[in-house]
Amino acid sequence: MNIRIEKAERLKKLPVYLFAELDNLKTEAKKKGIDIIDLGVGSPDLPAPSNIIKRAQDEIADKNNHGYPSYIGMIEFRKATASWYKERFNVNLDPETEILALIGSKEGIGHIPLAFINEGDVVLVPDPGYPVYQAGTVFAGGVPYFMPLLRENNFFPDFKKIDPKVLKKAKLMFINYPNNPTTAVANKEFFEEVVAFASKNNIIVCHDAAYSEIYYDKKIISFLEVDGAKDVGIEFHSFSKTYNMAGWRIGFAAGNKDILSGLGQIKTNLDSGIFQAVQLAAVEALRSPKQIKKEIVNVYQERRNLFVNGLKKLKWDVIYPEATFYVWVAVPKGLTSRELTTALIKECGIVATPGAGFGSAGEGYIRFSLTTEKKRLQEALDRIGKLKI
């Protein structure tokens, strides 16, 4: 006889998966033989550059790389990361204590609440936002408090609006710029406000900088560039978007050593580090000629120009993306984000993500992902032009 299998309360506390319905519609459309253009997923469509692949191949062949790796990352990886930070952001980091290797930045983001959140502590979470901020918080027994990112505030949270009673219980906050899904970028003034707010209220800042290298018009700054940032927080970085290495699973966190030490302690008890061949391939990535990164960004820039101009010609209300490979678009009045994405699948065979799937403040928008070649984006525009809404 089968045992009764019941999921833990923490899983039941997660929000319903809004994208499930979209997946069903997609499968249905495919069955009908509709040619689907998938602008829903945020996974790069191009492979990692060949110098990185070559380095990984060489390192896999080296038997010295086959054992358990260091928990916090190879010193060679941490040193290369510190040099990259210095060159890219002019921020000094101690590779011994101020850098921690991660199995992709998602892993660190998901685990960090376990290191600092007690039952009932509040975590400030951007809405709309990457779902892992909420999931990690709930798994640690914390309570997410959603900070709406509104267009009239340039998609920055308004700290003045947070109830003082909530603030008292707040112990950690997530922010994310360049932002997924709104594509907003932060300026120095905003980061300074974050440092002042966090210092005053004793809140740990976790800045998710997964898209720091996918920018077009203006160089993206690091949270750690701001005075006092290292006293209050850390920054998460990813190789997934920058170097098309999403499946390789490597990222890192940098900044305050006590915060990193807490995260490191959780990780030491749960995982056993990142395959050394992958860490050394990431070192290769960081040391690649600038041209390599530029070529990757140029691909997205051409796609962005094509797609954004096309949507504008069709009179769509587009938030102009200065960074990330997403396009955040306002939904016409009278429709919900789900109604629009449903119409796009059924009538155009185009998959986009409803803003409501990223949180209630995402309602009123949908997200297109530019992880598809230009020819297909043009085809998508042609189909959208015929959509009757």
Ligand X SMILES: *Cc1c(COP(=O)(O)O)cnc(C)c1O
CB of 148 to ligand X, least distance (A): 17
Residues 128-147 as x/- pattern, contact with ligand X by CB under 6 A: --x-----------------
User: Which of residues 183 and 310 has its CB atom nearest to ligand X in the complex?
Assistant: 183
210 sits near ligand X (criterion: CB under 6 A): yes
Residue 111 in contact with ligand X, rule: CB under 6 A: no
> Which span sits near ligand X by CB under 6 A: 104-112, 113-121, 256-264, 378-386?
104-112
Q: In this chain, which of 105, 134, 222, 341 binds ligand X, going by CB under 6 A?
A: 105
Residue 326 C-beta: closest distance to ligand X, Å? 9
Binding of ligand X by 127 (CB under 6 A): no
Closest contact distance (angstroms) between CB of 207 and ligand X is 11
Supply 327's token pair. 């396009």
Greatest C-alpha distance within the chain: 63
**Site map (CB under 6 A) of ligand X, residues 341-380, x = contact:** ----------------------------------------
Q: For residues 8-38, b (16+ Cβ closer than 10 Å) or e, as one string? A: eeeeeeeeeebbeebeebbeebeeeebeebb
Of 104 and 262, CB closest to ligand X:
104
Tell the smallest beta-carbon distance from residue 76 to ligand X (Å).
20
CB of 219 to ligand X, least distance (A): 19
- Of 134, 180, 242, 371, the residue at the interface with ligand X (CB under 6 A) is 180
Between 239 and 348, CB nearer to ligand X: 239
Nearest approach in angstroms of CB 97 to ligand X is 22
Query: Which tokens hold the place of 230?
Result: 């290292």
Is the C-alpha dihedral spanning 66, 68, 100, 240 positive or negative?
Answer: positive
- The closest alpha carbon to 351, from 31, 35, 16, belongs to 35
Judged by CB under 6 A, the residue of 182, 183, 238, 301 near ligand X is 238
Sequence-distant (≥ 6) Cβ neighbours of residue 9 within 8 angstroms: none
Which x/- pattern over 242-281 shows residues binding ligand X (rule: CB under 6 A)?
----x----x------------------------------
CB of 210 within 8 A of CB of 183?
no
Residues of this chain that bind ligand X (CB under 6 A): 42, 104-106, 130, 176, 180, 208, 210, 238, 240, 246, 251
